[in-house]
């Protein structure tokens, strides 16, 4: 259950990324769509929540620097810290890159296959697909399902985009889990909810430090 949850939460429970030389800041497209996931060195988000309405677990992302990936192209390095109540913190990192109309996430600087986090332009009804999520031979369908108001410890966000995803096995097409993520302009992801094996895992934005 927890393994499946971590795959979706943000697509981010990732292998510890190595670091290459510092890169010049990657260019990002201008416009409101990119603001739904604002990326800049120093940006930091913290979400709080847990299983069954608990509010004892935290996940923190921080954009630490830009790096040159193994393919020679620049990307942002994102440090990921997971703190489950009563357990030792786990720290990983991943890479984010914008290529054309896609915001991509790589497990590390050597990973040749990216997962699509967002597909621009963002509009209700848009769909995209991801295969082999984190090499677990899953396929994921994502759709921008609606605009909704979301209340979090960090504030209330009007008309946040809700992106629904469904994960199925590649070989049997069996349903593994369903999830929803809500994104607000100039803030990023403000809430996430995962349903798997009869349990619900939910995280809401606790704080954000954005440049």
Kind of pairing, strands 74-83 and 199-209? unpaired
% residues pLDDT > 70 (the chain)? 81
pLDDT in tens, 63-82: 999 999 888 889 999 999 99
Indicate the CATH number for domain 2-209: 2.40.360
pLDDT at 182 (0 to 100) = 98
The pTM for the full model equals: 0.83
Quick one: which of 119, 63, 129 has its CA closest to 96?
63
pLDDT at 6 (0 to 100) = 42
Q: What CA–CA distance (Å, rounded) separates 194 from 165?
A: 9
Average pLDDT, the chain: 83
pLDDT at residue 13 greater than cutoff 70: no
Q: What tokens were used for 23?
A: 């890169």
> Torsions phi, psi of 42, nearest 5?
100, -15
- Omega cis (within 30) before 8: no
Quick one: which of 194, 193, 189 has its CA closest to 45?
189
CA dihedral 67, 90, 48, 141 (to 10 degrees): 60
Quick one: which of 35, 82, 81 has its CA closest to 62?
81
pLDDT in tens, 139-181: 889 999 999 999 999 999 999 999 999 988 777 777 778 999 9
Check: CB of residue 81 under 8 Å from CB of residue 94: no
């Amino acid at each position: 259950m927890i393994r499946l949850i971590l795959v979706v939460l943000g697509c981010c429970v990732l292998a510890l990324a190595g670091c290459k030389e510092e890169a010049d800041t990657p260019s990002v497209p201008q416009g409101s769509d990119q603001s739904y996931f604002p990326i800049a060195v120093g940006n930091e988000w913290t979400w709080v929540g847990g299983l069954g309405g608990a509010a004892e677990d935290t996940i923190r992302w921080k954009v630490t620097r830009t790096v040159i990936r193994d393919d020679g192209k620049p990307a942002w390095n994102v440090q990921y810290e997971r703190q489950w109540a009563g357990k030792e913190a786990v720290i990983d990192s991943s890479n984010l890159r914008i290529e054309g109309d896609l915001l991509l996430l790589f497990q590390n600087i050597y990973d040749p296959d990216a997962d699509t986090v967002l597909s621009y332009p963002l509009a209700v009804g848009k769909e995209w697909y991801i295969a082999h999520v984190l090499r677990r031979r899953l396929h994921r369908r994502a759709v921008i399902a609606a605009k909704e108001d979301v209340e979090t410890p960090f504030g209330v966000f009007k008309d946040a985009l809700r992106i629904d995803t469904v994960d199925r096995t590649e070989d049997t097409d069996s349903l593994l889990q369903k999830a929803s993520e809500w994104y607000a302009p100039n803030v990023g992801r403000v809430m996430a909810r995962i349903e798997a094996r009869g349990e619900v895992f939910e995280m809401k934005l606790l704080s954000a430090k954005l440049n």
